[in-house]
Structures are given as C-alpha cells and as structure tokens.
C-alpha cells in the first residue's frame, strides 16, 4: 500500500472512531466547544501520523529492512504510548488532553497494519522482515505468518487505542 492509501485508511478509521466515540459518549456535535474542536483536529493529525510512522523504516533501510518486525508490531506504538498511560493519574490540567490524542495515534498505526494485510495486488499479504533467516533461507516470515502477525498486532494496537479513548473519555469532554 502506498502513502496515499494509508492516509485514506487513516481518514476512514478516524471518521469511524470519532462517530463511534460521540455516539457512545453522548457528546452532541452541535454543542462541541473550542477545546473539543481542537482535540478533534489534533486527533486527526495524530491518526495520520500513526498511519505513516510504520513506513518510516524506509528512511533507515541500512539499519532496518522495510516492513520489519519492529516497526510493524505493537512494540513501538505501545512503548511510545505507555508512559502517557502510566502517568495518567499524575497528568493535570491541559496535559490530560494528550491521552486521547495518543489513542488516535494508535488507531492510525493499527489502520496501517490492517491495510498492509492487503498489498497493492490485493493478493496475499505484505511479508514481514525478520532479523534472522527462516527455514527457506529468507529473512521474511512466510505469507500466512506475516498475515497473522499483522492482524494480531493491529488488533492489539487498536485495542490499546480504544481503551485509552473510550475508557478515559472524560478527558476530552
């Protein structure tokens, strides 16, 4: 999937999550204040940043192969978001505003992994690069393993985003 496809996927994921959030939290779009509007704008950009971040490995291809187990797994996004979650009780004032922004980053990252399940040819899935050689001498997971790896990691990341957003929705309303 190319950058435009991932950005379109992030936009779609953002719309779905925002509509579901407002439906379940009871927030009326007609009564949204300035703080909530700013949150929606920032969440849009955070979701798109999350959708692009896994492919930043193309900038470091001498260190990491494209679509590797580090950038296309739950490791980096959860490590990136975990400090915010762990310090949530210590966050005061405007800083609590950051938690749902990080949630939308996770939603965007998950959308990237889900879209990598359907590469350009719409057949199979994108192969995940590993740091060792497999039984066939290649440094990639087999097709089914790559598919399951992307699916499971995408679900873990999406669950993390939903937990941050829906269970801590008081921070944005």
Q: Tell me: the pLDDT tens digits for 78-118?
A: 888 777 767 666 656 656 667 788 889 999 999 998 988 88
Q: Where are the alpha helices (DSSP H) in 26-97?
A: 34-52, 75-86
Q: Residue 172: its pLDDT value, please?
A: 47
Q: Residue 108: its pLDDT value, please?
A: 94
Number of domains in the chain: 1
Q: Residue 173: its pLDDT value, please?
A: 47
CA–CA dist 10, 4 (Å, integer):
10
CA–CA dist 65, 71 (Å, integer):
10
Q: Tell me: the pLDDT tens digits for 113-132?
A: 898 888 666 455 577 777 66
Q: Tell me: the pLDDT tens digits for 18-68?
A: 888 888 777 777 777 787 788 889 999 999 999 988 877 666 666 666 777
Give residue 42's domain range: 3-171
Q: Tell me: the pLDDT tens digits for 122-166?
A: 455 577 777 666 566 567 777 788 889 889 999 999 998 988 887
**151: number of CA atoms within 13 Å, CB side?**
10
Are 133 and 32 a contacting pair, CB within 8 Å? Answer: no
């Amino acid at each position: 999937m190319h950058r435009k496809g991932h950005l379109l996927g992030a936009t779609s994921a953002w719309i779905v999550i925002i509509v579901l959030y407002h439906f379940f939290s009871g927030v009326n779009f007609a009564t949204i204040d300035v703080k909530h509007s700013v949150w929606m704008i920032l969440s849009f950009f955070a979701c798109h940043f999350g959708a692009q971040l896994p492919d930043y490995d193309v900038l470091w291809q001498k260190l990491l192969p494209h679509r590797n187990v580090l950038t296309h797994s739950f490791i980096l996004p959860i490590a990136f978001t975990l400090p915010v979650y762990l310090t949530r009780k210590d966050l005061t004032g405007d800083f609590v505003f950051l938690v749902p922004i990080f949630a939308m980053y996770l939603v965007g990252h998950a959308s990237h992994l889900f879209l990598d399940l359907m590469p350009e040819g719409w057949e199979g899935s994108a192969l995940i690069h590993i740091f060792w050689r497999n039984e066939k001498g290649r440094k990639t997971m087999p097709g089914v393993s790559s598919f399951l790896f992307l699916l499971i990691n995408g679900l873990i990341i999406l669950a993390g985003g939903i937990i941050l957003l829906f269970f801590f929705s008081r921070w944005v309303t």
